[in-house]
Chain A
Amino acid sequence: MMTGKKRLLFAVFSPLVLCALILADMTAGAADIGMSGIIKSFTGGDVPDRTRTIILEIRGVRTASALLAGMAVSVCGLMMQTLFRNPLAGPYVLGINSGASLGAALFVLGIPAAWSGSSIIAGAGLAGAAWIGAGTVMAVMAIASARLKDIMAVLILGLMLSAGIDAMVQALQFFSDETALKSYVLWTMGTLGGVSSGQLPVMAAAVLSGAVLAGFSVKSLNLLLLGEEYAATMGLDVKTARNVIYASTVLLAGTVTAFCGPIGFLGLASPHIARFLTGTSDHRILLPGTAMTGAILMTACDILSKVSHLPVNVMTSLLGIPVVIWIVLKFRQ
């Protein structure tokens, strides 16, 4: 199929699919609420208070979290793949998720009093801790990647860093009390239902800030497709561009990991699906395409998670693993 036609189909159908999935996600749940109940809840129509509360305070927040999380991890994955020029790069592979997890673990397990306080303080503190964790790992990886020419060495370093951080998190879990441990273990399973209506604005502000930085990086990302040296010869201030991308990934991956737990594989899979659907590597098209794909996939995973009563991470992994296998087979050819 012609690339232009493919892109047009994607532009027309993806918003429709997303809208359908959003409505399906809002209707999925224990309480039986139909489409009219959903619409009336949002438009201030005549519905029971309980229905309005379920839609606005619980399901609406969860669906919004799914959209934000899907967009964030996918865009983050795309930027990592471009920056490191590696199709298997992503926040999960390079240890940024682990860094965010360590920050979150230090906050939840190390300062349980702060975690059990008001939801706004807890939400902001958790996000802050995860941001610092993600930022630290990202900085380490960036310094290492500048010194290591072989990208396989960078990937191995990322995996080793993740393993080391996981060991530290396990040590923290070993010494923590039962309540804090339970909170942390539940957080690691990944849940979109854990985001409260008070936490949603914090999450949305951070993710959208990261998305804005990503949006302003489209030209840099396009130039970085050719490698940092080529990008520099075409006028890119590589150091500044890298720092903006790092800041964006920390805001995106760090925030989502803090509020929803580590979301596996979606950040790796979405950019490849978006590349296939849009037929381009031009980030002016690919970046919004990836955000849309991520939002669609995450909403679909949330519906499946609700239906199966399994953590959302199970769904994203089941979806992501075949894509990784596809990439490996494709690149072997």
Chain B
Amino acid sequence: MISISNLSAGYSRHAPVLSGVDAVLPSGALIAMVGCNGSGKSTLLRTIAGLLHPLSGSVSYDGKQVGTASPAELARMRAFVGTQKIRVPGLTCHNLVAMGRAPYTGWAGSLSDDDEKAVGLALEATGMEKFRDRDMDSISDGECQMIAIARAIAQDTPVILLDEPTAFLDFPNRRRTAALLKSLTCDNGRTVIYSTHDIELAAEYSDLLLLVRRNGIFVSAPSSAEMKAEISAAFFNTGHSR
């Protein structure tokens, strides 16, 4: 369970992007974070991930505050997939997924048998086993995204956060990614939170939508009448927004 309490997030105390955010996000759910450009989705996601310090308030995972956890502790609590495409020459898909095991390996980062098994399972879960020895700079955007998600799976954390994982992907790959994220919550009981602009896909696959607006957030099931009204208000400027 992720608890967000009276959170102010942003880059300056004088002009917070979001303030007074309160929410309780249940474990084992696929949660899609939606909102207009500039609404603060990435800021909120990065604050939940502990990459951005809260301006005030707190974020905690099962009672453990993100702000007080060390980088090593945080790495076992959540994995994060950003928007950046990883195209390092000479870095194989296996190398990248293996980096997800960093919280569990020693000073040199050598993999144990258990680590190798976790890497293999992550590649299998994403259907990327045959790309194991391919260089990261020789695969497509969709494949690159799958490998980035495989790295997060290999990190073996109860929470996975993804910033716009379906951006720049074609329709089949967007669906494939959404289905994979859903399977992570169903098969492994992980909590997966991802930001997206694809509301239709989010509504189809997600357990909850988290609508981010300048005046706060709203969390509800995608099919609820209230959420539909809030989305209309946020995106089409109709109806009444809270």
Q: Hey, which bits of chain A sit against chain B, CB under 8 A?
A: 3, 216, 218-219, 222-223, 225-227, 229-230, 232-238, 275, 279-282, 284, 286
Contacts and interface: CB of A to CB of B under 8 A. Distances in A.
A281 B90 contact: yes
Contacts of A223: 99, 102, 109
B103 interface: yes
B71 A232 contact: yes
B95 interface: yes
Given A230-B82, A237-B70, A275-B89, 19 more contacts: A216-B107, A222-B109, A223-B102, A229-B51, A232-B51, A232-B71, A233-B49, A233-B51, A233-B79, A233-B80, A235-B76, A280-B90, A280-B95, A281-B89, A282-B90, A282-B91, A282-B95, A284-B108, A286-B90
Nearest to A282: B95
16 contacts: A218-B108, A219-B107, A222-B95, A223-B102, A226-B86, A226-B99, A230-B82, A230-B84, A233-B78, A234-B99, A235-B75, A235-B76, A275-B89, A280-B90, A280-B91, A280-B92
Given A218-B108, A219-B108, A226 B75 contact: no
B32 to A, nearest CB: 20
Interface in B90-136: 90-92, 95-96, 99-100, 102-103, 105-110, 133
Nearest to B84: A227
A236 B74 CA distance: 10
Interface string B192-203: 000000000000
Contacts of A229: 51, 82
B91 A284 contact: no
A234 B91 contact: no
A248 to B, nearest CB: 14
Prevailing SS type, chain B contact patch: loop
Contacts of B91: 225, 280-282
The 3 closest A-B pairs by CB, nearest first: A235-B75, A281-B90, A219-B109
A226 B87 CA distance: 9
A165 to B, nearest CB: 32
A4 to B, nearest CB: 9
B52 to A, nearest CB: 10
B88 interface: yes
A281 B88 CA distance: 8
A216 to B, nearest CB: 6
Contacts of B82: 229-230
B155 A234 contact: yes
Interface in B37-73: 49, 51, 70-72
B64 to A, nearest CB: 15
A186 B118 CA distance: 57
Contacts of A218: 108-109
Given A232-B51, A233-B79, A226 B88 contact: yes
A236 B71 contact: yes
The CB with the most chain A CB atoms within 10 A, among B72, B105, B108, B155, is that of B108
B102 A236 contact: yes
Nearest to A218: B108
The CB with the most chain B CB atoms within 10 A, among A219, A230, A233, A236, is that of A233
Contacts of A284: 108-110
A216 B107 CA distance: 7
Nearest to B136: A281
A204 B70 CA distance: 36
A237 B102 CA distance: 12
A3 B103 CA distance: 27
Nearest to A216: B107
Contact of A225 (B75, B78, B88, B108): B88
Contacts of B105: 219
Contacts of A281: 88-91, 95
A81 to B, nearest CB: 11
Contacts of B78: 233
A282 B106 CA distance: 15
